[in-house]
Structure 1
Amino acid sequence: MVQVGDVIVSFDVFREKFFCDLDACKGACCIEGDAGAPVELEEVEKLEEVLPVIWDDLSPEARKVIDKQGVVYTDQEGDLVTSIVNGKDCVFTCYDEKGACYCAIEKAFREGRCHFYKPVSCHLYPVRIGNCGMYKALNYHRWDVCKAAVALGRQKNMPVYRFLKEPLIRKFGEDWYAELELVAEELKKQKMI
């Protein structure tokens, strides 16, 4: 682990390679698992605001879940997460003609229909934010559904932190990311990564 500003970053964020391969995984990270995506408290209002924009893009089952319990719930570990359908699919998932899953919020954002990209935890995946005392901690999350992304990342020699440049800047700012890059260069010089 290394400290960058007020964030503790796992060496795996620098060492591991990753590049999403949606053709291979079909968006499995949005539909697998035992809980929804982690949501920050300030994102709940944004999720509710975007709902009318994406409502028609959501499945009837997702709309029922949202009507019943809302866009988020508290999971077994006490974390705020997106609501899910049938114990797995995020309520914001949609499918394209090839059967690949995608985020209705991100689609609306890319089409200029809303100003919220998607929950930052989704944007940051495969990195998860945790707490380490008074610091935030960035940890690389390994998951079998991302095997193709790991293989493609190795092929492209794409470290996790570079793959996640945009969401890391979104979360921590450009100055923080510039410091992260300096730390990466120093770790390379010291042959630690």
Structure 2
Amino acid sequence: MIIIDNTIISDNLVSVNFCCEFNKCRGACCVEGDAGAPLEEEEISLLEDYIEKIKPFMTFEGKKVIKKNEVFDYDSTGEYVTPLISDKECAFTYFIDGVAFCAIEKAYDEGEIKFQKPVSCHLYPVRVNKFKDFLAVNYHKWQICDTALKAGEKKGILLYKFLREPLIRKFGKEWYKQLEKEVDLT
């Protein structure tokens, strides 16, 4: 494990090869699972502020869920998550030819909002768990990403390099530079 400031980073981040194969998984991480994507408290405010600009990109079902439940829900541990449609896909998911896309990110890409998407979505398959004195940064291994493991192996891309942008978004440039230094020392 690697320790940087108040983060404990799993060795998997620097040893597992990974490169998302979106054309093969078809956005399964937005559809599968037992809860929505984790949300940070400040992201709820952003979603509330931007919801009217996001709605045009959402499905009818997604809009119904948001109207009923607001822009967030709670998982089984009481943490904030995106709401789900019928315990399946994220309420912010829309589909084109059977491929799942994010309405939040679409609104961002169209220049409608300044919030790209929840940082947990950007970081996936990495999950950040909060503890009293530290954050645990772990790789979440799931069969829906098996093709990404194969692609990462073929291309020689380590998980932390594939997730450079979201890791910097979450922890900052200096943190990421320190991670690179720690990797070079091992």
- TM-score normalised per structure 2: 0.97
Partner of 1:79: 79
The amino acid that maps onto 2:107 is A
Counterpart position of 1:175: 174
Deviation at residue 132 of structure 1 after TM alignment: 4.5
1:151 aligns with 2:147: no
Determine if contact 2:57/2:107 at 8 Å carries over to the other structure.
no
State the one-letter code of the partner of 2:48: E
Structure 2 unmatched ranges of 5 or more = none
**CA shift at 1:29, angstroms?**
0.1
Alignment-mate amino acid for residue 4 of structure 1: I
Residue 76 (structure 1) shift: 1.2
Say if 2:25 is the partner of 1:32. Answer: no
Residue 133 of structure 1 deviates from its aligned partner by: 4.5
Q: Is the 8 A contact 2:57 2:106 kept in 1?
A: no
SS in 1 for 2:65: helix
Match of 1:113?
A: 112
Cα distance in 2 between the residues matched to 1:68 and 1:43: 19
After the TM superposition, which segments of 4 or more aligned residues of structure 1 sit over 4 Å from their partners?
none
In structure 2, the partner of 1:135 is: 134
CA contact (8 A) 1:36 1:81 kept: yes
Distance 1:131 1:145 in 2: 25
- The structural deviation recorded for 1:5 is 2.1
Task: Classify the secondary structure of the residue corresponding to 1:94.
Answer: strand
Q: Distance in 2 between the 1:29 and 1:183 partners?
A: 30
Is the 8 Å Cα contact of residues 13 and 160 (structure 2) preserved in structure 1?
Answer: yes
Secondary structure of 2:184's counterpart equals helix
Aligned to 1:88: 88
Give the aligned residue type for 1:143.
Answer: W
AA aligned to 2:81 is V
The DSSP-based 3-state class of the residue aligned with 2:127 is: strand
Output the CA distance in 2 between the equivalents of 1:131 and 1:84: 23
In the other structure, the counterpart of 2:3 is 3
Residue 111 of structure 1 and its aligned partner are, at CA, apart by: 2.0
**Aligned twin of 1:41:** 41
1:7-46: CA deviations, max 9, x gaps? Answer: 1100001000111111100000000001100001111011
Calculate percent identity across the aligned residue pairs. 44
Are the counterparts in 2 of residues 109 and 117 from structure 1 also a CA contact under 8 Å? yes
Structure 1 unaligned segments of length 5 or more: list them: 188-193
What SS class does the counterpart of residue 137 from structure 1 fall into? strand
> Which amino acid is the alignment partner of residue 183 of structure 2?
A
The answer for the alignment partner of 1:65 in structure 2 is 65
Q: Could you tell me how far apart the structure 1 residues matched to 2:32 and 2:41 are?
A: 23
Q: Deviations over 1:106-133 (max 9, x none)?
A: 1221221210010000000010001354
Question: Quick one: distance in 2 between partners of 1:108 and 1:57?
Answer: 7
